[in-house]
Structure 1
Amino acid sequence: MNPTISTETLVEEISKAAFTGNAAAFVGAGISTPSKLPNWMDLLRPLAEPMGLQITEDDDLPGIAQYIVNMSAGSRTSLFARIKTAIKQSKSKPNHYHQSLARSAIDLVWTTNYDDLLETAYPVGAPVVHSRDTDIAHHHEPGRREIIKAHGCINRSSADELVITREDFEDYFVKHPLMAERLRSDLQRKTFLFAGYGYGDPNIASILVEARRLAHKVPKQRYMLQRKADPSKAPDAIQRQQQWAMDLRRIGIDCAIVNNFDEYADALDSIALRSRGPTMYVTGGHTANSKLAEEVGRELAKRTDVSVVLFDGQSTGASRSFIQAFVDQAAKDRIDFRERIRYFPNPYAQVPALSNDPELLPRLKEWRAEMLRSANTVLAFDGGMGTRAEVELAADLGCNILLCAENSAGSSAGLAQIAHIRKLLPDDHEYLSSTDSGTPMQPAEIIDLVLAKMPQWKSW
């Protein structure tokens, strides 16, 4: 019996939950591995050698950390200093995994990592970070993302607050009552994704014990993404991983196993985009109405079998033409469109003089960032510098992008030649030829391309 699920199932379930605000991630050291941070063995080895201990991968590392503290008469100073110095000297930066999580709609991330790479990966809207019980006691502003550091933070915690020794793990739920209660609550309310953990990882052991205690009364599902075990490290590594996956299923955690790091990154990338749901932002020139935008907006309204949510950024020109045509057609066909449009304020659009000031483009990007981070797809008609700025920002935030050429003199052909934008365009020869030449496509063809990469869940 295969105890695992497909990666596609994991991605879909986590994405659906995240889109409705009901998902959380719990990430471990494996997420930071590509950033070349020192691992537990690297951290503890120089402190264990004076005791005559040669650390191996099979060692109980929290136990080794406990021995180090015991030999120092209970002082954690040398251990804390070793961790802090090693992380600082590594000069590590956020990697692809951190960036994918930061771009997703998952609004709560628990982590057992001490580093601050995850919080620095957020492109906009810095999350609130909790690293001690007193932090949990304070309320944070609604809608702001959270990172909870279950084992402390090297830049925020004292030596006594880091969870690293055997005693720390044994007494965790006693010494951190507010953190423990918040974890219990989240495990019962949220659909969880566990990532960055492997078989035997001591950082996750106590968390899984708590998950097991709650398994019989928690309706929410939990998932774990794992990389396939390496048989070169142990002849029975794959068998052990399979048995662990089966045991995790017993406590309500379904595992999906990928073959390598690239597939792991692909899964997180898929969650980052699909968790934004069937959402779309339309941009384009702001000085004139766009006939093509009107036709495409009308065509989308006629597709009564899909549920795309439009982001209205209060822009004039092509964006307004699209949304007004969509609303007019929906009203004509007696379709309730109230849940199909989400409004975002845009101070930039309220002062016409700002629209032609290139020095204010950075401010435009700042105002648009939160909206575009939530958008699955950006549909861009030909426009000027503002349109270009929004498309460039959308590419940086990982949105699907569809450039709609209206004529050969428009912006689409130029934007389509920018490498990091082109890789986000549909891989369709006819579409790319149309964009490169500035030849308009039919409205129905444009909508088909929009829907091809967008989840088709009901969004209300």
Structure 2
Amino acid sequence: MADAARKRFLKEFPLALHEGNGVVFVGAGVSKAAGYPTWAELLKDIGEELGVRSSDIHDLAALAQWHISENGGAGVRNVIKAEIGQDRDIPEALQVLTRLPIRHIWTTNYDRLVERAFGAINRPIDTVSGAQDLSLKPKPGATRFYKMHGSVDRLDDIVISTDDYELYRSKRGAFLPLLQAHLSSMSLLFIGLSLTDPNIRHVLSLIRESFTDAPPEHFAIVRPPSRDDCASDEEYAARSAQHKHWAKDLRRYGLVTVEVEKYSEVPDLLRQVERRVASMRVWVSGSWPIEASDAKTRDLYRLAEEVGHLVGRTKRDLVSGSGLLVGSAAIAGFIDALRADGGWDLDRRLIVRPFPQPLGDQQPDKAHWTALRSEMARQAGIVIFLGGAKLDGKDLVTAGGVMEEFEAAKAAGAFLLPVGATGGAAKAISDALLGSETPWQGADAARPTDEELATLSDETSGPADLLKVIAAILGRLARVTA
């Protein structure tokens, strides 16, 4: 059952992300992985002031309420400021998460881990931590981040006590219709879901309130208790039984649980999601001097155009550096394929990173070009190499930039598909892969078979024949990742 849930998750959630319908809910476990205290740890001193142990209290929001009723709200807020206000290392799972094509993220956490993770890769994020912020226009191109229980940088407006939960609809109710809309129409992934997190019970109640009988299906990555977490065998047995019933109970909310034995497995699981999303993106790498206007140049342009069209009509995204002749042809074919459906999702499916060209006697910014190539390699799970040549005086030589793109794609773990018959770097790459130890079958396949490489290097094959082989390889890859 656990393997079936994981397989289902790795099939369905990457597809939701690719289609723009994947949403992530960041739970308390992510903050814990960064070293922030759990709710029980956070309120330990607060509880001791009242003569109770936070570890013995199931309703921790009530514990906060008792302290606020006795001493006012400053004490609880000061504890949160001291413990949550400090910056901690960003967990690896969150680093992977920020690279995924996510448009919406939800959390009940107060910390600034998500904002800092996005900032670390210079990716824009639009944080909404107060109900009134929802009326502001979203930042164009930014992922919207809903901190539905407030943020550490606005401690006067956080949800922590029983009063805050009971009055949530009157003070922060504007979050609820939006969350319910996402729960209704999108696929949510809950990461760091915690049995002891009082916040999560609030979110789950919203699902039950909206869908009493047949809630939409979502996913939750959870970790069962381990023996190391517990002081005794008896405690371990009790907590394991409790977790089993809790995970089973999550089905009432439409949550499919994907279990991991250790939190250290989560980054690798998310990397698998990242690679599966990338497998739906094809980078057409290559170049050819326009001055070499001959039959081979015309055939290469036609093939690049047909490859772009193939990428579009098979519902994949196109990644391109807009290289000479090859890039523009692939983009033209891709756009033409999208026109069949109106081309309305072009902004989402075409990922272009044009290389800044030097003017006059200026030199190209090599570091910038390398960074662009690495970015494209990370975003694309399949790289098709066409041509890859330039003029050195009157001589046609292999384009070093395309060879650099090959190395970047190989380092990123992309599937390498050189069409050797087009010459240049593509031929050099094909020769390097032919008979190599790079795997060619199964889920780890990173190149065509030797037979396919030989066929794609046959210079007597016309564009139509080459395209047929490319289409067969893409079809096979789609079946492997399905």
**RMSD across aligned C-alpha pairs, in angstroms?**
4.8
Counterpart CA distance in 2 for 1:120 and 1:315 is 34
Deviations 1:66-96 (A, max 9, x none): 2332332x223x322222222344x412222
Cα distance in 2 for partners of 1:200, 1:99 equals: 25
Tell me how far 1:269 sits from its aligned partner.
Answer: 1.9
1:22 aligns with 2:21: yes
Which residue is equivalent to 1:109? 105
Aligned residue for 1:175, secondary structure, equals helix
- For residues 413 and 159 of structure 2, the distance between their equivalents in structure 1, rounded to whole angstroms, comes to 37
1:274–1:454: 8 Å Cα contact kept in structure 2? Answer: no
Distance in structure 2 (CA, Å) of the matches to 1:182 and 1:429: 41
Q: 1:450 to 1:207 in 2, by over 3 A?
A: same
Native 8 Å contact 1:133 1:177 kept in 2: yes
**Aligned-pair CA distance for 1:281:** 1.4
Output aligned runs, 1:82-97, within 5 Å.
Answer: 82-89=79-86, 91-97=87-93
Deviation track 1:341-375 (CA, whole Å, cap 9, x = no partner) reads: 854555536x5649983436427846995x77754
1:375–1:399: 8 Å Cα contact kept in structure 2? no
Cα pair 1:278 1:456 within 8 Å, conserved? no
**Structure 1 pair 266–452 and aligned structure 2 pair: CA distance change class (3 A):** farther
* Shift of residue 34, structure 1, vs aligned partner: 2.8
Q: Residue type of the partner of 1:85?
A: A
Sequence identity (%): 24
Which has the bigger relative contact order, CA under 8 A and spacing at least 6? 1
The CA distance in 2 between the partners of 1:454 and 1:354, in whole Å, is 45
Residue 419 of structure 1 corresponds to which residue in structure 2?
none
Equivalent position to 2:148, from 147, 150, 157: 150
Partner residue in 1 for 2:125: 127
Bigger drift between 116-125 and 53-62 goes to 53-62
Q: What displacement does 1:111 show?
A: 0.8
The structural deviation recorded for 1:203 is: 1.9
Say whether residues 1:168 and 2:164 are aligned partners. yes
The 2-side partners of 1:179 and 1:55 are apart by 29
Please point out which of 373, 377, 383 is paired with 2:382: 377
Indicate how the Cα distance of structure 1 residues 360 and 3 shifts in structure 2: closer, same or farther if over 3 A, else same. Answer: closer
Distance 1:162 1:134 in 2: 13
SS of residue in 2 equivalent to 1:261: coil
CA contact (8 A) 2:399 2:425 kept: no
Q: Distance in 2 between matches of 1:445 and 1:13?
A: 28
* Matched residue, 1:80: 77
Relative to structure 1, the CA distance from residue 28 to residue 393 in structure 2 (aligned partners, 3 Å threshold; closer, same or farther) is farther
Paired residues of 2:134 and 2:174 also in contact (CA < 8 A): yes
- Following superposition, the deviation at residue 182 of structure 1 comes to 2.0
- Within 5 Å, give how 1:301-320 maps onto structure 2: 307-320=315-328
Aligned length: 435
SS at match of 1:164: coil
Q: 1:402 aligns with which of 416, 430, 434?
A: 416
Q: How far off is 1:452 after superposition?
A: 6.0
Q: Which amino acid aligns with 1:314?
A: S
- Give the aligned partner of residue 437 of structure 1: none
Q: Match of 1:163, SS? A: coil
Q: Post-superposition shift, 1:148?
A: 0.7
Could you tell me how far 1:153 is from its partner in structure 2?
A: 1.5
> Post-superposition shift, 1:213?
0.7
Is the 1:348–1:355 contact (alpha carbons within 8 Å) kept by the matching residues of 2?
Answer: no
Instruction: Work out the CA distance in 2 between the residues paired with 1:403 and 1:453.
Output: 11
Could you tell me how far apart the structure 1 residues matched to 2:403 and 2:115 are?
28
Q: State the Cα distance separating 1:214 from its structure 2 match.
A: 0.8
Contact kept, 8 Å, 1:225 with 1:255, in 2: the verdict is yes
What letter corresponds to residue 35 of structure 1 in structure 2?
A
- Structure 1 residue 287: deviation in Å? 4.3
What's the offset of the Cα at 1:255? 1.9
Matched residue of 1:92: which SS? coil
- Contact 2:221–2:259, Cα closer than 8 Å, also in 1: yes
Q: Which entry has the higher C-alpha Rg, 1 or 2?
A: 2
Distance in structure 1 (CA, Å) of the matches to 2:310 and 2:419: 22
TM norm structure 1: 0.75
Distance 1:400 1:322, change over 3 A: same
One-letter identity of the residue aligned with 2:105: V
Taking a change above 3 Å as real, the CA distance of residues 255 and 344 of structure 1, as seen in their structure-2 partners, is: closer
1:47 aligns with 2:46: yes
1:108 CA drift (Å)? 0.7
Distance, in Å, in 2 between the alignment partners of 1:310 and 1:354 is 31
Return the alpha-carbon distance in structure 2 between the equivalents of residues 187 and 321 of structure 1.
Answer: 41
**Is the Cα–Cα contact under 8 Å of residues 293 and 319 in structure 1 kept in the other structure?**
no
- Answer whether contact 2:189 2:220 (CA < 8 A) is retained: yes
Distance in 2 (CA, whole Å) between partners of 1:71 and 1:441 is: 80
- 1:168-317 alignment, distance < 5 Å: 168-216=164-212, 220-230=216-226, 232=230, 233-276=235-278, 278-285=280-287, 287=289, 307-317=315-325
2:98·2:117 contact (CA, 8 Å) conserved in 1? yes
Deviation per CA, 1:383-423, whole angstroms, max 9, x where unpaired? 75755776787789x6735374969989988xx9xxxxx99
Residue identity in the other structure for 1:273? R
CA distance in structure 1 between the partners assigned to 2:30 and 2:277 by the alignment: 19
Deviation at 1:52, TM superposition (A): 3.1
Distance 1:80 1:24 in 2: 30
Give the structure 1 partner of residue 355 of structure 2: 348
**Aligned-partner Cα distance in 2 for 1:23–1:270:** 15
Contact 1:26–1:194 at 8 Å: present in 2 too? Answer: yes
Whichever residue aligns with residue 178 of structure 1, its letter is: A
CA drift at 1:212: 0.4
Q: Could you tell me whether the CA contact under 8 Å between 2:287 and 2:323 is conserved in 1?
A: no
User: What residue ranges of structure 2 are gaps of 5+ in the alignment?
Assistant: 291-296, 389-397, 433-437, 459-465
Q: Structure 2 CA distance, aligned partners of 1:152 and 1:66?
A: 17
CA 353–56 in structure 1, closer or farther in 2 if over 3 Å, else same: same
Contact 1:29–1:197 (8 Å) recurs in 2: yes
- Separation in 2 of the partners of 1:304 and 1:319? 14
Q: Distance in 2 between matches of 1:354 and 1:46?
A: 68
Note closer, same or farther for the CA distance 1:143–1:299 as it changes in structure 2 (3 Å cut). Answer: closer
* 1:62 and 2:61 are equivalent in the alignment: yes
CA shift, 1:134, in A, is: 1.4
When residues 249 and 136 of structure 1 are mapped into structure 2, their CA distance, relative to the original with a 3 A threshold, is same
TM-score (normalised: structure 2)? 0.72
Of 47-56 and 107-116, the range deviating more from structure 2: 47-56
Decide whether the 8 Å contact of 1:87 with 1:115 is kept in 2: yes
SS for the counterpart of 1:8 is helix
| Aligned match of 1:13 | 12
Provide the C-alpha distance between the structure 1 equivalents of 2:196 and 2:226, rounded to a whole number of angstroms. Answer: 14
Task: Give the whole-Å Cα distance in 1 for the aligned partners of 2:328 and 2:176.
Answer: 49
